[in-house]
Structure 1
Amino acid sequence: MSATRRVLCLCGSLRRVSSNRAALEAARQLAPASLELVMHDDLAALPLFNPDDEHDPLPVSVLALREAVGRADALLVACPEYAHGVPGAFKNLLDWLVGSLEFPGKPVLLLNASARGSYHAQEALAEILGTMSAELLSTQPFPVALPGAGCTTEQVLASAERRAELRAALELLIPSPPTNVGGEG
Structure 2
Amino acid sequence: MARPEPQRGGVRAITSLQNERVKLIRSLEMRKVRRETGLFVAEGASVLVTAREAGWAPRMLVFLAGSAQAGVARELLTWAEAAGAECLEVSPAVLAKLAAKDNPQTMLGVFEQRWAAEPAAERLAQDALWLALEAIRDPGNLGTIIRTADAVAAAGVILVGTSCDPYSHEAARASMGSTFNVPLVRMSAE
TM-score tier by shorter-chain length is: under 0.3
Structure of greater relative contact order (alpha carbons < 8 Å, 6+ residues apart): 1
Task: Give the TM-score normalised by structure 1.
Answer: 0.28
Q: Is the strand fraction higher in 1 or 2?
A: 2
Task: Give the TM-score normalised by structure 2.
Answer: 0.27
